[in-house]
Amino acid sequence: MSAMKNSVFSQKIYSFLLDTYRWYLQTPERSLHEAYDAALKIKEIEDKHFNGNKIDIDLAMYSNSVMDYFESDLNKLLKTAKMRLTEFRASRWFLDEENQKAAQKVGIEYPSASLVLEKLNFIDQVTSKYTTIPEKITSKALVVKPPSLPVDSAITPTLPSKTSIQEFDKKPKSKLKADTMGVLPRSILSTISRLQVELDPNSEQEVIQNFRQAQRRTIISIRFILLLIIIPLLTHQIAKAFVVSPLVDQFRDTEQVQTFLNSEMEEEALAGLQRFEEKLKFENLISNAPPLSLEQIEIEMRNKALVIAEEFHRQSSNAIKNVFADIFSVVAFIWLLVVSKSSIAVLKDFFDHVVYGLSDSAKAFIIILFTDIFVGFHSPHGWEVLLEGISRHWGLPANRDFIFLFIATFPVILDTIFKYWIFRYLNRISPSAVATYRNMNE
């Protein structure tokens, strides 16, 4: 019976590996087809809604909601075409003549060279018109320079600057205080600049445009934050349920494996069995029923030991599954960061605006809150609970020496980084916030 199960399992593994190899050999054709399909959809939108012309979000042909809809579809299709072309080039580089011969043996036929060139030429013709669209959307339309705060952070400009990231990068990143000194006080210059903006006849349009840019930036940032949280969690659950669990259960059921992954699990099981024995004897002494014999107590103990062993067997299997499922989650998280560079730039700009918009007391409160949580007097207890939870999650023994060493070094490093950041950056950007932080901390 066991040999039959192993044979069926081996056939399943062989079928799975063969399907995976087929999928690998079909990667160039599949990637090119998906990129070509994305280019066809872009061309269809151009022909149907823009008279065969380029999809331009600055045109006033439709309402803002409709243009936002076209813009979202265009960004998705361009990203799909770019990613699939990159996948096509990489797979073509890895597949050599031997792989192509192997593909022919398993019945996979690659398209002709003329058809491949025709599709690539069509994709380039469609996407070349939008080579600057993602930069325009993410950098100019969405990323707005944070308002530069003067020494007195209570004075803030009314309207955010329209300087793009490219122009912002050309300017010096940091200026000395003497370099920013003028003949007149900054408050007077800021008041004059605000009056000029308010008297400008086009200021209303600029306010509306800046509001739309801020709205887009907020929507994209919140959506990206949710994706950073949801996608790794979903990947963990799906991979654990459909990929890792069947393999782990198969191997742990067919092979003789240990029930306990570490000595701590074994000690916990022995302690539970000992408590059950003491509870059983205590109930036997205080109950009015006839006392249990030694054989009956031994039977109860054996049944309880089997239950405890089954429970810790599941815990051990679950810990092993968590290790591999966490690897899938980390890969998904890194992949999301790699393919979302534009969203990361928008998210950074969003946090800059949120931080710069806080008052000095709010900044000081947040700094004190984070420092007390992670490097404060009571933070070692939190780090200890966190490390023990991670160890239990992965089925590792909680090494007390490592935990104490980590608590003795890592919070100190964090504290040093916090103090350096306050001294190096916050003291230059908002000295009043630093003064408020010192007063509150004292």
Angle of CA points 261, 266, 270, to nearest 5°: 160
Residues 15 and 119 in one domain: yes
Which tokens go with 257?
């494996």
248: in domain: yes
DSSP secondary structure of 43-90 = HHHHHHHSTTS---TT--SS-HHHHHHHHHHHHHHHHHHHHHHHHHHH
Residues 327 and 435 in one domain: no
Structure confidence at residue 18 (pLDDT): 66
410: in domain: yes
Which tokens go with 221?
């940032």
Residues 125 and 52 in one domain: yes
Evaluate whether 358 touches 226 at the Cβ level (below 8 Å). no
User: Which residue type, as a one-letter code, is found at position 238?
Assistant: I
Domain count, the chain: 3
Structure confidence at residue 234 (pLDDT): 94
Which of residues 107, 131, 155 is at a domain's end?
Answer: 131
The list of the chain residues with pLDDT below 50 reads: 133-181
Evaluate whether 352 touches 146 at the Cβ level (below 8 Å). yes
175: in domain: no
Residues 320 and 386 in one domain: no
Evaluate whether 5 touches 253 at the Cβ level (below 8 Å). no
75: in domain: yes
Which of residues 339, 374, 408 is at a domain's end?
Answer: 339
Residues 257 and 375 in one domain: no
199: in domain: no
How many angstroms separate the CA atoms of 341 and 319, rounded?
Answer: 33
Sequence length of the chain is: 442
Which tokens go with 291?
């006392």
How many angstroms separate the CA atoms of 211 and 237, rounded?
Answer: 39
Structure confidence at residue 171 (pLDDT): 42
Q: pTM for the full model?
A: 0.53
How many angstroms separate the CA atoms of 154 and 139, rounded?
Answer: 28
Q: What domain range is 428 assigned to?
A: 358-442
Structure confidence at residue 289 (pLDDT): 63
229: in domain: no
How many angstroms separate the CA atoms of 280 and 155, rounded?
Answer: 74
User: Which residue type, as a one-letter code, is found at position 178?
Assistant: A
Alpha-carbon torsion 172, 178, 180, 182, what sign?
A: negative
Residues 22 and 125 in one domain: yes
441: in domain: yes
Structure confidence at residue 51 (pLDDT): 79
Residues 304 and 373 in one domain: no
261: in domain: yes
Long-range (24+ apart) CB contacts under 8 A made by 92-100 are 92/28, 95/25, 95/27, 95/28, 99/25
Residues 10 and 120 in one domain: yes
Structure confidence at residue 210 (pLDDT): 79
Evaluate whether 255 touches 364 at the Cβ level (below 8 Å). no
Specify the residue for token string 């007063």.
439
Residues 366 and 418 in one domain: yes
Which of residues 131, 147, 173 is at a domain's end?
Answer: 131
Residues 366 and 332 in one domain: no
How many angstroms separate the CA atoms of 393 and 389, rounded?
Answer: 6
Residues 322 and 270 in one domain: yes
First to last CA, the chain: 74
Residues 332 and 263 in one domain: yes
How many angstroms separate the CA atoms of 194 and 188, rounded?
Answer: 10
How many angstroms separate the CA atoms of 257 and 30, rounded?
Answer: 42
What does residue 176 show for φ and ψ, rounded to 5 degrees?
-75, 155
